[in-house]
Amino acid sequence: MNGVRTTSGKQIEPLEKAFVTLPKRALKRVGVVDVGSNSIRLVVFDGAARSPAYFYNEKIMAGLGQDMATTGRLNPAGVERGFNALCRFAALARGMDIMPVTCVATAAVREAEDGPAFQQRVERETGLKLHVIAGEEEARLSAQGVLLGWPDAVGLVCDIGGNSMEVAEVAQGKVGQRASSQLGPFRLQQVAGGKSGLKKHIRAIMAELAEKMGTHHQRLYLVGGSWRAIARLDMERRQYPMTVLHEYRMTPQDVARTIEWIGETDLNELRSRVGISSSRMELVPLASQVLSEMVSTFAPEELAVSSYGIREGLLYEHMSDSLRKRDPLIESARFTERQMSRVPGFGKKLYHFLQPLFADVPPERDRLIRAACLLHDTTWRAHPDYRAEACFDNVTRANMAALSHPERVFLGLALLHRYKNSRANSPMAPLFGLLSADQTRDAETLGKAMRFGAMFSVDDPGCAGSLTLDRKKGHLNLRLTRTGRDLMGEVAQARLKSLCNSLGVEPLITG
């Protein structure tokens, strides 16, 4: 594959060459440096390969691309801030023994007249090899980051940076058509003609993107700090009870109302309310205009925020096809169980023991049940008085992929009831409203089933007995083995009775 050239004629090396020293395997610890037009970040991924944990994460708002649209050069102050950050990141990587680190630079270094000089200085003085990638390659990597978090994603990925915005189509686990544009806020700051000139400029570029990408996409996946800032403000306007941005959903109507609200409210007041940095908040009004035009042009049914982007896309690049096909939620739950439970491996046995209670559930519910069983014992070190809430809090705020907000609450509520029969007066109550009454009942039932099964046997509840649910006769039959008869004490009987109450049946103990 040959390199590509930027609009300034500079040759860009294909990114595949960045991975020749890093085998595609079950990953343990991988470092990635992303040199963007606004921010520079080091991320070190650790643990479960399909759903990695963030071992280390540090960001500097260097502003390399500020004023580049008029000067053609990197911002001098940004260059020094960025270089100092990269010196630190290189030292950190050596200290963590994760060299070589995969480093990519995007629009600012790609397009600036002095981009090659910055690239050479970084490699000469820090030892970091900075791979400058083309716009369409940036779009591909961002889309791969979305696929890492959403294996079944279908729609258009829109990644906004300081000096560019990339779009890419995703479907069936693949990245399709992609394009790059100059719709980054730093560039838009330099557009002449006032508000009308800016609107005309954005509309013209958006029309070009629509012609290339089509307008049939029902969902837009939003990647980038400016989009996340707008989504966080949407949460504030709506008084949404959860502040996890990943997989947060907005309708076009939500976006319109929030953009109008941003325009009517003092930005400093908004910034203090939600904790967005001043440098990021400065770009929000321009990013809002881009988002407004994008919604108008592409007319999606829904917009979903992705915290995963180019850095996660780089990690995805290392993965084999078989690894990519695994469920990120289940992989993360397995990893957590291995690291934090008292008896690793018990969760799978608990799942099989309880399966007769949930034999007819659809696949999307079954995976939540499986994940809950894997996670049921991972907060045992918490104080008993707070263990139930700690379970709920950990899951609803955890770095887990392929998990919508209602699914997070369902999983959290099930784990809360694994430790506690009642959720009355829970401080987590505002989040319960994300579930329907039926979903709440089902989560409680799952929690009470785990509460019984987890203490019924130390090593394998299936060796102590088996469950059969007969809805017609209104019975839950527990058939005990010889071992099970010894284990079936008062506490176990009380928990079985609580489970039966939740199911609306009577307990029947035989054997």
**pLDDT digit string (tens) for 114-158?**
999 999 999 999 999 999 999 999 999 999 999 999 999 999 999
pLDDT tens digits along 216-225: 999 999 999 9
Residue 17 has pLDDT above 50, yes or no: no
Residue 359 has pLDDT above 60, yes or no: yes
CB atoms within 10 A of CB 142: 32
Q: How far apart are CA 350 and CA 505, in angstroms?
A: 21
Instruction: List CB contacts of 223: < 8 A, sequence separation 6 or more.
Output: 142, 145, 146, 157, 158, 159, 160, 306, 308, 309, 310
Cα 36–Cα 150–Cα 171 angle in degrees, nearest 5: 95
Q: How far apart are CA 500 and CA 478, in angstroms?
A: 11
For the whole model, what pTM was predicted?
A: 0.91
Residue 373 has pLDDT above 70, yes or no: yes
Q: How far apart are CA 115 and CA 125, in angstroms?
A: 16
The pLDDT score that the predictor gives to residue 285 is 96
Residue 15 is classified by DSSP as: G
Mean pLDDT value across residues 375-382: 95
**Could you please report the per-residue DSSP string of 26-62?**
S-SEEEEEEE-SS-EEEEEEES-TTS-EEEEEEEE--
Give the 3-state secondary structure of residue 207.
helix
100 cis-preceded (ω within 30 degrees of 0): yes
Residue 510 has pLDDT above 50, yes or no: yes
Q: What percent of the chain has pLDDT over 90?
A: 87
Cα 450–Cα 453–Cα 456 angle in degrees, nearest 5: 145
Q: What percent of the chain has pLDDT over 70?
A: 94
pLDDT tens digits along 383-410: 999 999 999 999 999 888 899 999 999 9
Sequence-ordered strand ranges (E) for 231-380: 249-250, 302-306
Longest CA–CA separation in the chain, Å: 84
Residue 422 is classified by DSSP as: -
Domains, the chain, in order of start with CATH, read 4-133 (3.30.420.40), 137-311 (3.30.420.150), 327-509 (1.10.3210.10)
Give the 3-state secondary structure of residue 165.
strand
Token pair in block for residue 112: 């600036």
Q: How far apart are CA 302 and CA 222, in angstroms?
A: 11
β-strand 155-160 against 165-171: which pairing, if any?
antiparallel
Mean pLDDT of the chain: 92
The pLDDT score that the predictor gives to residue 1 is 36
Instruction: List CB contacts of 373: < 8 A, sequence separation 6 or more.
Output: 347, 348, 350, 351, 354, 450
pLDDT tens digits along 298-328: 999 999 999 999 999 998 988 888 888 899 9
Strand-pairing partners, residue 34, are 41, 104
Cα 329–Cα 331–Cα 337 angle in degrees, nearest 5: 100
pLDDT band at 7 (very low <50, low <70, confident <90, very high): very low
Q: How far apart are CA 96 and CA 33, in angstroms?
A: 14
Q: How far apart are CA 496 and CA 445, in angstroms?
A: 11
